[in-house]
Structure 1
Amino acid sequence: MSINMITFLLILVSIVTNTLVFGQNTGIQGEWHVLHSSIGISAMHMQVLHNNKLIMFDRTDFGHSNISLPYGRCRHDPHDSALETDCTAHSVLYDIDTNTFRALMVQTDTWCSSGAVLPNGTLIQIGGFNDGDRVVRSFTPCVSENCDWVEFPRYLIERRWYASNQILPNGRIIVVGGRRQFNYEFYPQNQGLFRLDFLAETNDESENNLYPYLHLLPDGNLFIFANTRSILLDYNNNRVVKEYPRVPGNDPRNYPSTGSSVLLPLDENLPNVVAEIMVCGGAPRDGFRRVAHGSFGQALSTCGRLNVSDENPNWVMEEMPIARVMGDMLLLPTGDVIIINGARLGTAGWENGHDPIRAPVIYSLSRPQNGRFSFMAASQTPRLYHSAAVLIPDGRVIVGGSNPHEYYNFTGVEFPTELSLEAFSPPYLAEEYAVVRPRILSLHENIGYSEFFTLMFSVPQYLSSEVLTVRIVAPSFTTHSFSMNQRMVVLKLIGVEHVAPHTLKVTMRGPSTAEIAPQGYYMLFVVHAEIPSSGVWVKVQ
């Protein structure tokens, strides 16, 4: 046996062992780093932008924040329920590359709102509370320090408080639901308002149909999950195509008995792309009512997976290692799912969560059923109601927020309002994996549908094309334990060739359709032996 082959096998055994077991040291269980002890606001909503900036905001009616608006500006709003004149900011723009931030100005209340990024990279933010419930706001990334929110009052047909959004194949945004809103509409607005009885049917005394889970499927239809039920909606014809089986247990998964949901990676290397939905956590049916009487019951410990590409799908249930409510589910570059933030007891809502869970878990799709979860290192900071998390291009997960109080409250409470921002580095970023970590050298930044394109990457020890994938990840708008518009596509791999020592060229095919990957900006990762490169922004068009 050659020395190269022996080296190959030793490295492979080491990677598989560490990846499957996540050894004992801190690096293999991930690491936490505090980025800022305070960013001035509590990051209730988050969106990564294609210029490596992260926009965050909370709500205008919390009272004074801990960061002033620039240039002596003040917000004057006679309708605000907390402060008619407020010279502090309730939104910030964080620069990932420089670890700095600056204040932004929102005029109307963004509390419990939603958002999606247009194909041109502009964030469209939808609704909120009070004077902000029919407002559309936009933020367009810029190279200067002057870009800020632009507001369009009374743009929406109906008030949108706790609504969800999904970017569509044609570049438009569908806006679904919200409190006492059993309908949907579109941005830009030109089609009117559409009744959706499903949302009325899934309403209950605790309103467990808020922030419905939306996932665009490869056939172009929209998967909608609310409470315990889910449907396939043909939004072009306002027609429910089918209803799926109820998730077992009859316990609510949407806000306020908050679980979370992701669309698992869509793999274009398969003969037929398979779409599978995963829903985890939540609280028992009577959990929200019991909390109102001071009884904090245990959260749900189950996850369900539903293969919606199957003609007659059924939920496949698995147990998490710990019950969790208010957890955020994010797709990592490897295709694994991290569940982060939340609590073991109670539900979402003010003062409704107890026993915070500081340790995330990672769910590995490549492992056998009932052995897919691994505990990660714990943060020192509890993240309860109104916390959020997003994946950023270098592979870290940025975490912020947590304000389970009606206003900013820093003293005399068990869980004070949290203004800090921190980053979790998953195990794949550990130095132990440097030998197989790819680094992207060059690529085409514009990707056409079904078009071939190439990229160059280097890696100290290349193993095999069998452990090589190229993936694109759409950045999510995260709030209230749901990451809207999040999706991953594993691109069709055409060929790999060595072009220099430790340097390879990969040929791939762009996404097949806009239904699989809507137009817009994505983070592209090369994943080698389950270790990802840093991501590079590309535009699918």
Structure 2
Amino acid sequence: MSAQPFSLLFLLCRLFLLPPIVLNISLVAATGGKWELLLPSIGISAMHMQLLNNDKVVMFDRTDFGRSNISLHGKNCRMDPNFGPLGDCSAHSVEYDVVENSIRPLMVLTNVWCSSGSAMSDGSLIQTGGTGEGERVVRLYKSCNDKTCDWKEIKDGLLRSRWYATNHILPDGRQIIVGGRGQFNFEFYPKVQGGDQMYSLPFLEETNDENIENNLYPFVFLNTDGNLFIFANNRAILFDYNKRVVVKKYPEIPGGEPRSYPSTGSAVFLPLKMQGIDKVLSVEVLVCGGAPNGAFIKALNGEFVGALDTCARIDINDPNPKWVMEVMPMARVMGDMVLLPNGNVLIINGGASGAAGWELGRDPVLCPVIYKPDNPIGSRFELQNPSKIPRMYHSTAMLLRDGRVLVGGSNPHNYYNFTNVLYPTELSLEAFSPSYLEIESANLRPKITSPVSQTRIMYGQKIEIQFTVKGKLVPNCVKVTMVAPPFNTHSFSMNQKILVLAHEKVIDVGQLTFTTRVIVPSSCNLTPSQYYLLFVVHQEVPSQGIWVEL
């Protein structure tokens, strides 16, 4: 791209208070991707979301926002003294049906604000913590086809209050729940009768700044050796949660700037490329964006400093690990990072200055960026077409089975506020379609014909994948990926992971149909038992995914 179009696009990605005609012109200058408004209002602001294995997405915000814009529709009202004798008859959680593009209200009783969660092996969502009366509550949601299912809540299901904590599913099927405001410890769920307790994690106290907790919503990833990579503030450890010992300490990110809440950057595990049944080429973490030291305090005082424009990448299993720094096309705080089926990373949402928190972010970044991890350094970032809707604090993004990215939320206010504010509470739902979904790629796009969705697969199994391609197939440009759908909130997607499976030679069986065999890992450190989305990718263009149960 020449310097002049890039400059124009850069400005349009940053300035949303422009005349509509200018925004329309910007679409010509941008490089790819398409935006679609799915629903002008879902009734709540989508602060948290999880894709379930029936193509439905459960979303929620908080119960103390005031009344939402969607009724509970005949369900019993939630009794709350703040709402008078009739209680609160509005919903604070909804289920979005991707196929029908419709919303169904759900009843959540306790405050889920700034909570955490993970999808379990049976496809249910176990969601933990929040604030107030919800800080030690465990909530279960199992979707159903007859539209009668709803939240179930377990009072005192947690040993400690968990507000701004992070969850991760473990090889044995439990969740580990790490940290939270004022909690330098971790615990597990489900509990083992008579045996579970809270365990100290001094690293969280060490990364807790004196003036502001810059270690909330820590970035947690399950390493291939079964240990946890835990990042908070500006540094990371490899942690053996069974023995409760630090296995490795990683160097501080160059520059020492914080990356976790409220200096909110984001992070992903880059694609794990399988070299056999359980061998992985490398295990890399990418951390992008955030806010400089002191940005949160300055924002509280009305000074909104520029966000960080760097990403840091590290091979966590390297004997001498070092962070490699890269510069993004623009600075970003409160951005979300979404793993795409072809292994690229979408960086989306957020602002260019300020910090996370009520009224503390400024300068919405409207253009997503695609990061291509396999490109040479210096050529990995690609700007995408801008949205017209700012997505600031409390926004979310999630990969769907059809390859689109669902985008919602944004409420930087204490309550719902739609007028006389810089960034009104956002109840809408959008979809961003990366350029691989453009009509020009239709002949390259595979279609999986076997196995069918919801097939159960076994550890170490060889699976024959049959697919069709309308155009000319390039066998060396085919890969099969398996994506774990995460729980997304506050710019971090918990449990997000993508594996590029080892596969055998692609065979042409005629009539534009092809087969290959892939090897499912045998290690639950690589793939804990749960539902995954499986894609065939041809020349970086993915098929629609199918659900597989491991």
CA distance 1:526–1:76, change in 2 (3 Å): same
Give the structure 2 partner of residue 476 of structure 1: 486
Aligned residues: 517
Give the structure 2 partner of residue 446 of structure 1: 456
CA distance 1:72–1:221, change in 2 (3 Å): closer
Residue of 193, 198, 221 corresponding to 1:193: 198
Secondary structure of the 2:503 match is: strand
Residue of 214, 219, 223 corresponding to 1:208: 214
Q: Which runs of 4+ in 1 moved over 4 A?
A: 24-28, 80-84
Alignment-mate amino acid for residue 140 of structure 2 = S
Give the structure 1 partner of residue 249 of structure 2: 243
In 1, Cα distance between equivalents of 2:85 and 2:256: 42
Shift in Å, 1:388: 0.4
Q: Counterparts in 2 of 1:162-181, with a 5 A limit? A: 162-181=164-183
Secondary structure of the 2:205 match is: helix
Residue of 89, 92, 102 corresponding to 1:90: 92
CA deviations over 1:96-141 (Å, ceiling 9, x no partner):
0010111000000000000001101110001001000000000012
The answer to whether the 8 A contact 1:61-1:82 is kept is no
Residue of 217, 239, 246 corresponding to 1:233: 239
Query: 2:294 aligned with 1:286, yes or no?
Result: yes
In 2, Cα distance between equivalents of 1:81 and 1:389: 31
Q: Counterparts in 2 of 1:274-353, with a 5 A limit? A: 274-353=282-361
Q: Counterparts in 2 of 1:152-171, with a 5 A limit? A: 152-171=154-173
In 1, Cα distance between equivalents of 2:131 and 2:270: 32
Alignment-mate amino acid for residue 449 of structure 2 = L
Secondary structure of the 1:388 match is: strand
CA deviations over 1:354-378 (Å, ceiling 9, x no partner):
0001110000122210111011010
In 2, Cα distance between equivalents of 1:72 and 1:114: 26
Give the structure 2 partner of residue 405 of structure 1: 413
In 2, Cα distance between equivalents of 1:83 and 1:248: 56
CA distance 1:412–1:83, change in 2 (3 Å): farther
Secondary structure of the 1:85 match is: coil
Secondary structure of the 1:73 match is: coil
Secondary structure of the 2:483 match is: strand
Secondary structure of the 2:204 match is: helix
Q: Counterparts in 2 of 1:244-259, with a 5 A limit? A: 244-259=250-265
Give the structure 1 partner of residue 55 of structure 2: 52
Q: Counterparts in 2 of 1:490-509, with a 5 A limit? A: 490-509=500-519
In 2, Cα distance between equivalents of 1:458 and 1:229: 46
Residue of 14, 31, 35 corresponding to 1:32: 35
The answer to whether the 8 A contact 2:299-2:355 is kept is yes
In 2, Cα distance between equivalents of 1:102 and 1:472: 29
Residue of 533, 539, 544 corresponding to 1:523: 533
Secondary structure of the 2:442 match is: helix
Query: 2:379 aligned with 1:366, yes or no?
Result: no
Shift in Å, 1:248: 0.9
Give the structure 1 partner of residue 15 of structure 2: none
In 2, Cα distance between equivalents of 1:28 and 1:120: 40
Shift in Å, 1:494: 1.9
Higher alpha-carbon deviation: 357-366 or 315-324: 357-366
Unaligned regions of 5+ residues in structure 2, if any? 1-26
Q: TM-score, normalised by structure 1?
A: 0.93
Shift in Å, 1:26: 8.2
The answer to whether the 8 A contact 1:494-1:506 is kept is yes
RMSD after superposition: 1.6
Query: 2:78 aligned with 1:75, yes or no?
Result: yes
The answer to whether the 8 A contact 1:27-1:430 is kept is no
In 1, Cα distance between equivalents of 2:368 and 2:295: 23
In 2, Cα distance between equivalents of 1:412 and 1:321: 31
Higher alpha-carbon deviation: 395-404 or 452-461: 452-461
Shift in Å, 1:81: 9.3
Give the structure 2 partner of residue 118 of structure 1: 120
Alignment-mate amino acid for residue 87 of structure 1 = C
Shift in Å, 1:249: 0.9
The answer to whether the 8 A contact 1:269-1:490 is kept is no
Give the structure 2 partner of residue 101 of structure 1: 103
In 1, Cα distance between equivalents of 2:506 and 2:376: 29
In 2, Cα distance between equivalents of 1:27 and 1:407: 35
